Amino acid sequence: MDVQGPDVARPYYEKHKVTFPRLVDQANRLGALFHFEAVPNLHVIDEAGLFRGANLTQEALEELLNEPVVVSRARPATPVTLAELARRAAQKPAQPAAVLAYADALREAKQTAEAVQQYEAVLALEDHCLPAYFGLSSAYLLSGDKVRAAETLKRARKLFAKNWLVRKQIWAVEHPERFYEGNVDYAWQKEQRAREEQE
């Protein structure tokens, strides 16, 4: 999970010579699905889309990667167009899930101004929608507005005080040198956590 996207995570994959496909979850959809509130974590989904394990040891992961590929009998999903998602959101403006799907698609299409409006619409309907906060923050980052990105995450922190994913994303936006220049500074994070726990 990194609200800043795959470009900031890529150096870690390259450093550790990761060759399998990766997913960087900018909107924390997997976090919401699996209820994790801290990083790092690892969830393995195979070629057929089947969940194969979480937080595996290196040995267990290597064993899993050496297993034969499972053939899926499920039909492949039909991609949904941006126009179709817009239609669904317009038909169901009071349903946060429809509007959130449209907002995510707009962000992925780098239509950040419209994405921001749609994420705010989701939050007006459901202020405890954590994926909307992460998506909104990511949209602000895509448009180059780190201040609003951090402010959005701080709004989320007020609602999700025990969620350390939110806090780490705030720290990463405000102090990228502690995360993306060389090794991650875990000692600094520990100090931040201790300081924030006293607030």
Residue with tokens 């040891």: 57
Average pLDDT score over residue span 167-195: 91
The better pLDDT of the pair 28, 82 is held by 82
What is the residue-averaged pLDDT of the chain? Answer: 84
Residue (of 156, 174, 177) closest to 166 by Cα position: 156
DSSP, res 55: S
pLDDT exceeds cutoff 80 at 35: no
44 class by beta-carbon count within 10 Å (0-12 exposed, 13-18 middle, 19+ buried): middle
Average pLDDT score over residue span 85-93: 92
Contact indicator for 152, 170 with CB cutoff of 8 Å: no
Residue (of 18, 24, 25, 76) closest to 47 by Cα position: 76
pLDDT at 67: 75
For residue 77, name the pLDDT band (cuts at 50, 70, 90): low
For residue 144, the tally of other CB atoms under 10 A from its CB is 9
Cβ-proximal residues to 175 (8 Å cutoff; 6+ apart), any chain: 188
Average pLDDT score over residue span 54-81: 71
pTM of the predicted model, to two decimals?
0.75
**For 92-149, what is each residue's pLDDT tens digit?**
989 999 999 999 999 999 999 999 999 999 999 999 999 999 999 999 999 999 999 9
pLDDT at 180: 87
Average pLDDT score over residue span 56-71: 72
pLDDT at 169: 93
The domains of the chain, with CATH numbers, are 82-198 (1.25.40.10)
pLDDT at 171: 95
